[in-house]
Structures are given as structure tokens and as C-alpha cells.
Structure 1
């Protein structure tokens, strides 16, 4: 009875607009779990990390929840159980048992000098997850180096009230007018020998961020559009000629906090798309980049992004949809998800620059983002930078490595110094 009373006092959360999809379509083959990694300059101490995790969870109330199934929608309720960190024993981005067994929707693990955060997309997007990880690292280092650290400055953009962290920003910025339906044609699908369910191949290119930024600037492009064009061109180089009639399309998540004031730690993103239809042509890389630039610029206005918000929230608010039992909603969501997935060849998520207080930087080596592949998009890309290093990570649920090899060789030919790391130890991949 005491536990029930405690749960009632802490309340529950409706799933935000983006989160409503994931419980219906996620499983071991399509986890919708992404991983963020902080690499320290020292080995991680288990007990210190456990204490740091508890301190961090105390200021992120929307993370202390478990997933429950209702009559009309899934929802999140307060989780009274203790949170436990563990040694890293599972492949990155694995569908962990807490998702389906009313446990926590994220995991914190460690291996040697790495702190890992695996997070189910129901809980947060990349920005919200990075807020949590940065606070976790902050608390860890404050505890581990209590004697020598005299400062206690919290990482940028991590100061917020519990209510503002937990707000549903989709509903906050929803307007009934101006809707944009983002339905697209079927895109080229990357194929290859599948790995076992839950397995993931990871290849990361580490490079000086200044070199890549200068290269993008020389083409009047942003870092995201430049790398997206490199991905599209690399996929094209590996396409069978008979399949070149289908466009190569990339799904790019956009952090809506950069366009609408919000500090929520939950999901608040929209997806834009860009691509190129090659047919039998053999365009130059510059032609592909020019089209990517134009397409992305045309979708990044606040008005266009607002229309995307309005469309997705209006669908959720439709009286007929709201009255359908969850079992029927699950069927509809799976159909809608498949239609959305086949419209893209891959996805590229750029977290941008990860910052930490200057006094903590000597203890931190790097940050990284690993995306989870899906059945229809078996190859995905995660990008982030820390300090002087840009990390460009390829994750795949299939065996061939031709696409990342072409990407990193192309960048190397442009004068970028690329160092490769991979989770495969049987072979030595070189650029």
C-alpha cells in the first residue's frame, strides 16, 4: 500500500507525440535504442558510477519511469525500484528487458574507461539523452575527484526545473492550422548479409573537426549537409546499376529546441529528408551536394517545422484515432511506420558539438553517438564532436563494409586525417 501511495504521489506521464510510435514497432530486430558514450582518460569505478547515476536520476524525473499499457495509449508511470548500473555485456543499442518488463527505459553501463548510456527512444531524443549523460559524467567526476576539484559548474543547458524538463513540447507548440504531410516515395534500400538479431557492426571515423568544417565551408555547405552528401554519394557508388531508378534518401532528425524555446529532456525533434535520384546518370559529388543543400535549406524554417509538428499532433488528436483501442492503434502505427521507413535509404543524426565545463575537460577524452539500425534502414550514421575531434559513426545490421570504406577514403582524399576504430577485432580495416 505504501508503494502504491508513493507511485500516485509521483504521478504519471502521457507519451509525447514522437514516443507514441515506438512501443508498437520495437523488438529485438528493431530496438529503437540508441547509445551515447563518454570516454574518460581513466578507468571507470563501478561504485562511483552507481552513486553518480542516482544523483543524476534525482534531477531527471521523466527518466524515473516505466512503460505501461493502457486501454487507448501506452503511458509512463513512476518507477519506485532502485536503478542499477552494470558492466557492459550486451551489444550497443540492444533491446533490453526493462522495456518490455516494466523496468527502466535506459541503461547505464561501463567498460574500462567508457560510460555508456543506452536509451529507448520512448524516453527522450538525442538532445535529452545527452543532457542526462553530461550530468552523469559531471556527477561522476565530482565524486571521483572530490579532493582536487574546487569548481562545481554544471554543464551548459543542463540547468532546468523538473517540470520544464518533463514538458511535452510537441503539444506546447501545436497549432491547428498549417499542416504538412511528409509522405514520400519509396527509396533505394541497402541490402546485404544480415547479422544475427541484436548484433550490430560499428565503424567510427575520428577526424579533426576543423578540417571537415573547412571542407564543408569551401563548398558553401554546413557540416551536416556535407556529410549527408558524402553518404549519398557513397551509397550510389555501391548501388547495383539496375536499382538506380530509386532515389537515395536520407532522414535527418532536427532538434526543435533550436527553433522553439524549450529545455525539455523528452522527445522534441522533427525529421527532414534529402536525397538524389541518379537513374543512369553519373553526377559529380558537387552536383549531389548542391541539391542536398537546397533541399535542407528549404525545410529548416520555423514555419516549415511548425507544419510538421501540427501534422503529427493533429493525427494524434483526431477524435476517431483517439477512440480506437490500443490494439487497433498498434496495427495502424505499424503500417504508418513501414510507409515512413521505406521512404528513406538511411538516417543521419548530428548531435553537434558536445560541451563540458573547462575544468572537467582534462578527465574526458571523447563522446560518441551510435544509432540503432532497423529492418528497412539497416545502415545508419551518428555524428558528434568533442574538443577538436569529429566522430562519424556507421552502425549496421549487415556484414558488408563498402559504404563506410568509401566514405572515409573519400574524406581522406580531400585531405582529412581519418583514424578508424571498429567493434570487429578479426580484421584490420584501413582507409
Structure 2
């Protein structure tokens, strides 16, 4: 069905580094949830999700890896509603696993929407959740004739896919040369993801708004100052020579018109260096001044251009991703030195009054490697969610105590999620660890027998090399187990190189390039269509590997031409079949073939 959406699109600027820094303990996933006043019906929720996906097919994408950048590609995978079982914000992007980058789950009266940050930001997720909850309640209560939420003009497919960073980029805007001082870092051994602490603080919007207005500041400024103060009280005096700095995400759509459903956010850094005489009023005034200074459109445009300028640098663009990743990771780690924690206020979720009968509240929280605070509000309920990998919860307790000292009544909820504390299965990892130990043990035992029997280590080195080769082949197979076709390509490369080395160190007979390489290339080339058929792979999932294997299968022709091949018939067979495969692809599937090259080789 033609939707007007692209088959693939590049990651927006804010998402470029996410796949490189994603892991089990920092999944870069955030959760938006809606707590209803009734139990969730999973069948109706599935129908609502199907209905919502018709409006947001942009989310029906998987993350794929090119030679220079990652990119998103549409997939006909149905999003399926499931009961909540995993720890909140569990990993969604797993390399080589073709799965959607979001999940919808439920638990009792909660609807959960978890999404990988490379797919969208808080605004995009809020739009999706609003639509999902609306569709669910209208389907669940047809007799009430709940009104549809009035939204602004519906975005076209092109507007939803728009890379707004590139649209508003200008090389004429000067660089921001401000140097950011190192900030206080929250020290200590970090919890694993399944033990991540989740603390919710709930209070009245009217009360917090009245208190913020009494200080002549916004709610965001008031809570930012309160969080800085709560962190300050937990920092030892010997670390208080540095400022405590919060990273505050900024919705760039408020400054640059955009209906993009991808990422379009920047951030400001708001910090304060405390002294013993610092009063809360002084802290508030400093935070207020920093917000005013840093939220100027010209300043935001300068910062935004700084992010995009790196992406558009010709040298950086031309560096292969496997090399580029180390610079991006180093840059992310270096940038993190100026940040103590993150605070993100998503804003207000608005529904017609009729929905109050069924909706209790909304909440949002995110995975973190240290401490992150998110907040949102619905009607008179303001919810602040702390996610923390720090073992103790003193900062959260400080925050709650300070709220109460300011006269704001609040309640605290902690770890009411079925997956919290659940230990993840590690059987596969144990199998690989056991195999590694066995390979090492076999090599050592061979060395012991060799020395005890002959008093030397003459054949021990061959046994050790054999154990290493077996370990390397199995280890790569384990790492690439989620993508059979990629696994085959790696195995062909590794086995060929290992065989060439064995051939070289055993007195070169040429068997490695006369037989192993051409027959190996033919085996991979012939297996790809079979695997694609058995696993019902889409063309985009196997075409690039078919082109790769056919290209590799032509290399024996070059080896034959330069005189390195002794027995030529395997090489001629490999080169001939591979060339015909490439020719057939070019003649019959030229458009798809060129599209794959554009995706993979996009600089």
C-alpha cells in the first residue's frame, strides 16, 4: 500500500550517536505511560494500536547500519501489544535484530509506550501516546461518544519525516565558542539496568504553579533550582568546588516551525556553584537568568548549527562508521563531563474534559547511566519521575523534603513495575564463556602432554592455533547470531584468512585460494536465496548481502589473472556464476540494487 512515506530515511542529527552508545545498561529508551481508572483490555488496546499506526506509520521502521551512518528503514512488522514483563526501558535496539523500535505493553490499569530515542523525541512520543489513549478509550466506551481531540493541521508524510535540523541549518551562523567547565559527577558503583531505581513524586499542578509564581518564575525553573539544591545536599564538601549542572532538553519546535515526528530537540546546560551562604532565592535568580540568556532564538540557532556542522563536515562524513564510532563515543563522553544530571519537562497532556472520567494520570521516565528526571502533567496531577543507577535514593528524598518545606503536599511512589529487579537470562553468555574456557583448557592440556612426553613444545603451537581458530569462528558466530546472512559473510572472511595463514605456515601449497576461497564464496552465494526463502526475508534484508557475496565470488578471477591460482576450475566456476548473478541483478533489479548502494554508502 502506498502511504507517501519513504522506504528509508537517514537518522536526524540528534539521533546519530544513539546506536553507538546504546547497551544493556543504557538502552536510550524512554517510557510514556497512561494510568487509567479501570483495567486495560488488551484486545481493545491492540485494535487501538493498529488504528494509531495507520496515522503514524513512520514508527514502523527498523534501524540498519550503513558503511558511513545508520539509517531507518520501513518494515511490514505488526506492532503487538504484550503484558508488561521486562524491566522498564529495556533494550529495544539490538544490533542485527530487525525489530521495531518501540513497544506497547499493559499492566493492570496502565498503558505503556516505550520508544528508542533514535526514532523520536518526547514531543513525538507524546503525540503518539495521546492518539493511542484517545483511540483506546473511544473503542472501549462507544456509548459515551467521546470527542476526538482537536489537533493542529495534520502533518503530511513528508512533514513527519522531515529532518528539521538540516532544514534550519545555515553555515553563516557563527560557532558558539563558549567553554563549558567540568561539573560535579555523581560517583559510586552503578546499578545494572534491571535494578534501576524508579521513583515517582506526584503533586498538585495548582500548588506548584502558585509556589512558582510566588517566586516570579516558571514551574520548570522552580523545579530545576530545587533539583540542583537536592543534588548539592548529597555532594561531599571536597567535590563542591565544581558547579552542579543539569542538562535541560529544549523542544526546538517552539522556536523553528516543524511538524517532524523525528527528533528535533536541543538542550541548554544550567548550573550553579554553591557557597555556604547561598540562599534558595539567589539560586532561583541565577537559574532564571540562565534560562533567559540561553533560551534566546539566536543562541539556540547557534547551538543547533554547532550540532549539524559536525555532521556536515566532509572529512567526518567520509570516515567509515566503524572508525567514526570511536570519535563519536569519545565526544559523547567528553561532553558528559560538563553535566551532572538531566532534567526534562515534557509539558502538559491535553484531553477534552470528558476523558477525565477514565484517565488518572500520565508519567514519563527514561533509562539512564546515572540520574535522570522527567516530568509531565495532566489536569491537576504533576508527576516527576526519577530514574537512577545510584544505589541510594538520598537525592530523591532531598527533593521530596524540599517540596514539603515549600508547602507543596506530595506523595511518593517507588518501583511499582512488574519487571523491576528481574534478572535477565544469561544462558547464552555462559555457553560462550564455557566454550572459551574449554578451548583454553585443551590448549594447555596439549602443551602439558607435549612437554611431558617429548620434553619440548613442538606440536603444542599447532594445537593452540587450532583451538584459537575454533574459538574465533564460534565467537564471531555468537556475536552475529541474530543475522544469519551477515554471519555468513563474516565466516567466509575469517575462514579464508585463517586458511591462508595455515597454508602459509605449513609450506604454501595453495589449497586455501585454489579450493577453500572459491568454494566458500559459491556456498555463501548459493545459500543466501535459500535462507531468504526459509526465513521469509524481505528483499531489502538480503539483497545487499547477495551483491556482496557475488562481488567476493568474482575475486578468484583476479587471482587467476595474476597467476596465483594453480587449479583454475574452482575459480572459473566461482567467478562465472558470481558475474552472472551480478549481471542478472543489474538487469532485472537495477532500481533496487542502486537503492541499496545509496542507503549503505550514503556519506
Compared with structure 1, are the counterparts of its residues 224 and 412 closer, same or farther at alpha carbon in structure 2 (3 Å cutoff)? same
Which string of whole-angstrom CA distances, capped at 9 and with x for unpartnered residues, describes residues 125-163 of structure 1?
A: 1000010111111111111112x1324423535832222
Q: Distance in 2 between matches of 1:97 and 1:261?
A: 30
Which string of whole-angstrom CA distances, capped at 9 and with x for unpartnered residues, describes residues 332-372 of structure 1?
A: 11011101112100000001111112332321111001122
SS at 2:390 equivalent = coil
Q: Distance in 2 between matches of 1:101 and 1:48?
A: 29
Alignment-derived partner of residue 402 in structure 1: 394
Alignment-derived partner of residue 41 in structure 1: 37
Deviation for aligned residue 1:387:
0.3
Counterpart selection for 1:333 from 316, 328, 334: 328
Deviation for aligned residue 1:110:
0.4
Alignment-derived partner of residue 114 in structure 1: 110
Q: Which shifted more, 191-200 or 348-357?
A: 191-200
Compared with structure 1, are the counterparts of its residues 314 and 84 closer, same or farther at alpha carbon in structure 2 (3 Å cutoff)? same
Q: Which shifted more, 197-206 or 63-72?
A: 197-206
Alignment-derived partner of residue 477 in structure 2: none
Contact 2:63-2:93 at 8 Å conserved across structures: no
Give structure 2 stretches of 5+ with no counterpart: 418-603
Counterpart selection for 1:343 from 338, 341, 346: 338
1:287 and 2:279 matched: no
Which string of whole-angstrom CA distances, capped at 9 and with x for unpartnered residues, describes residues 57-112 of structure 1?
A: 12113201000000111000011122111111111111136665121001111000
Alignment-derived partner of residue 19 in structure 1: 15
Alignment-derived partner of residue 156 in structure 1: 151
Deviation for aligned residue 1:183:
5.1
Q: Distance in 1 between matches of 2:181 and 2:102?
A: 34
Deviation for aligned residue 1:410:
0.8
1:82 and 2:78 matched: yes
Give structure 1 stretches of 5+ with no counterpart: 426-431
Compared with structure 1, are the counterparts of its residues 192 and 9 closer, same or farther at alpha carbon in structure 2 (3 Å cutoff)? closer
Q: Distance in 1 between matches of 2:172 and 2:393?
A: 45
Q: Distance in 1 between matches of 2:350 and 2:367?
A: 24
TM-score, length of structure 2 as denominator length? 0.66
Counterpart selection for 2:125 from 108, 126, 129: 129
Counterpart selection for 2:415 from 397, 404, 423: 423
SS at 1:203 equivalent = strand
Deviation for aligned residue 1:202:
1.0
Alignment-derived partner of residue 265 in structure 1: 261
Q: Distance in 1 between matches of 2:79 and 2:397?
A: 40
Counterpart selection for 1:363 from 328, 338, 358: 358
Alignment-derived partner of residue 320 in structure 1: 315
Larger radius of gyration: 2
Aligned residues: 416
Contact 1:156-1:355 at 8 Å conserved across structures: no
Q: Distance in 2 between matches of 1:172 and 1:76?
A: 19
Q: Distance in 2 between matches of 1:339 and 1:140?
A: 44
Compared with structure 1, are the counterparts of its residues 163 and 223 closer, same or farther at alpha carbon in structure 2 (3 Å cutoff)? same
Alignment-derived partner of residue 371 in structure 2: 379
SS at 1:298 equivalent = helix
Contact 2:201-2:410 at 8 Å conserved across structures: yes
SS at 2:134 equivalent = helix
Counterpart selection for 1:209 from 193, 205, 211: 205
Q: Distance in 2 between matches of 1:151 and 1:8?
A: 30
Report which of the two has the higher share of helix: 2
Contact 2:183-2:338 at 8 Å conserved across structures: yes
Alignment-derived partner of residue 302 in structure 2: 307
Alignment-derived partner of residue 225 in structure 2: 229
Q: Which shifted more, 8-17 or 34-43?
A: 8-17
SS at 1:18 equivalent = helix
Alignment-derived partner of residue 166 in structure 2: 171
Contact 1:201-1:424 at 8 Å conserved across structures: no
Compared with structure 1, are the counterparts of its residues 366 and 53 closer, same or farther at alpha carbon in structure 2 (3 Å cutoff)? same
Which string of whole-angstrom CA distances, capped at 9 and with x for unpartnered residues, describes residues 304-334 of structure 1?
A: 1111111111110111011111111111110
1:414 and 2:406 matched: yes
Which string of whole-angstrom CA distances, capped at 9 and with x for unpartnered residues, describes residues 181-204 of structure 1?
A: 565222111124432234321111
Q: Distance in 2 between matches of 1:424 and 1:113?
A: 12
Compared with structure 1, are the counterparts of its residues 100 and 227 closer, same or farther at alpha carbon in structure 2 (3 Å cutoff)? farther
Contact 1:61-1:166 at 8 Å conserved across structures: no
Q: Distance in 1 between matches of 2:30 and 2:153?
A: 20
Contact 1:274-1:292 at 8 Å conserved across structures: yes
Contact 1:95-1:198 at 8 Å conserved across structures: no
Contact 1:200-1:395 at 8 Å conserved across structures: yes
Compared with structure 1, are the counterparts of its residues 300 and 8 closer, same or farther at alpha carbon in structure 2 (3 Å cutoff)? closer
SS at 2:14 equivalent = coil
Deviation for aligned residue 1:230:
0.5
Compared with structure 1, are the counterparts of its residues 206 and 14 closer, same or farther at alpha carbon in structure 2 (3 Å cutoff)? same
1:67 and 2:67 matched: no
Contact 1:183-1:340 at 8 Å conserved across structures: no
Compared with structure 1, are the counterparts of its residues 212 and 41 closer, same or farther at alpha carbon in structure 2 (3 Å cutoff)? same
Report which of the two has the higher share of strand: 1
